[in-house]
Amino acid sequence: MAAHIDRRERPEWTPGKAILYGMLVATIAIPGLVTLRPIFLAYEDLRLLDTHIGLILLLAAEFIPVAFLTMFSYFKAIPKELDETAAVDG
């Protein structure tokens, strides 16, 4: 939903949108081995090792940017006229 709202409701490219997009691309571009030790140490301090919530947080942090960028690209490919036609048709 965030990708749809971001693409359709505010189509202009703002500095904030460029920063958000850059941060999402950076999370995908950084290899997992680079972040493995800091995440392990943080999980150890927070006592999240070997817990379900720790695994959920880790997987969410890994896959949400990928899903957002995939959906953003998909919604970008849909013509704006299709939205206007749907609004006219009801």
Span 54-79, mean pLDDT? Answer: 88
Domain total of the chain:
1
Cα gap 27→84, rounded to integer Å: 34
Question: Each residue of 17-61: pLDDT tens digit?
Answer: 788 888 888 888 888 889 999 999 999 999 999 999 999 999 998
Cα gap 32→56, rounded to integer Å: 16
Question: Each residue of 1-18: pLDDT tens digit?
Answer: 666 666 666 666 778 878
Query: Residue 48 belongs to what domain range?
Result: 2-77
pTM score, two decimals?
0.66
85 occurs within a structural domain: no
86 occurs within a structural domain: no
Helix (H) or strand (E) holding 60: helix 52-77
| The token pair that represents 20 in the structure block | 């958000």
Question: Each residue of 57-66: pLDDT tens digit?
Answer: 999 988 988 8
**Residue whose pair of structure tokens reads 């490919």 in the numeric block:** 77
9 occurs within a structural domain: yes
83 occurs within a structural domain: no
